[in-house]
Structure 1
Amino acid sequence: MLNNSTTEERLNRKSPQRLVQYFTLAMAVIYTGLGVLLWLPMANIVSLPTTTRRILGAVFVFYGIIRFVRTYRQHFQRNNSNDAR
């Protein structure tokens, strides 16, 4: 049973990839928040008709959720096939 750890893990260093993972999660939250903001009636910051604003808000919320789930599965969920090795 070989211990296949990376150099960063052996040296207890944070890899730059970790920063990218959290940035991607933060962007997913920002997209979702922007979508919710567009749904609110006080969101007349953008001069769009109500229907267009709501459709755009729904797209942002949907995209934010999809991006969050993909990032979580790819970076933060334990992969059973890698644990068995």
Structure 2
Amino acid sequence: MSDLPPTHERLKRPGQSPGLVRYFTLFMAVLYVALGVSLWLVPAGMLRLDETARQLLAVIFVFYGIVRFVRTYQQYFKKDRDEA
């Protein structure tokens, strides 16, 4: 059909280190989990959020951080081990 390279090759920027991206996404996943835990543990009067809303937001942040961590691991780290 077409002689275009695959999408992941076309989107790769020159000089972009895949190591930097993988560790940044891991850092962000840990940051989301830490934000969720801190929201859960913060005293009730510090934020202008209802107790239920604060706990729900904390659970969402923790869950999203875990999902991001698992996806990052599967995308960047599991491939490296499978290829070796």
- Verify same fold: TM over 0.5: yes
2-side partners of 1:24 and 1:43: how far apart? 31
- 1:17 partnered with 2:1: no
Q: State how far apart, in whole Å, the 1-side matches of 2:45 and 2:18 are.
A: 38
1:60–1:44 distance in 2 versus 1, CA, 3 Å: farther
Q: Are 2:64 and 1:78 equivalent residues in the alignment?
A: no
The structural deviation recorded for 1:69 is 0.4
Q: Deviations over 1:20-54 (max 9, x none)?
A: 10000000000000001111142644310110000
Stretches of structure 2 that go unaligned for 5 or more consecutive residues are 1-15
Measure the CA separation in 2 of the matches of 1:26 and 1:16. Answer: 16
Could you tell me how far apart the structure 2 residues matched to 1:74 and 1:44 are? 40
Alignment length (residue pairs): 68
- Residue aligning to 1:55: 56
Q: Answer with 57-66 or 34-43: which moved more.
A: 34-43
Mark the runs of 5 or more structure 1 residues left unpaired by the alignment.
1-14
Question: Which aligned runs of 4 or more in structure 1 are off by greater than 6 angstroms?
Answer: none
Cα RMSD over matched residues?
A: 2.0
Tell me the TM-score normalised to structure 1 length: 0.70
Structure 1 pair 55/17, CA: closer, same or farther in 2 (3 Å)? same
Partner of 2:70: 69
When the two structures are superposed, what TM-score results if normalisation uses the length of structure 2? Answer: 0.71
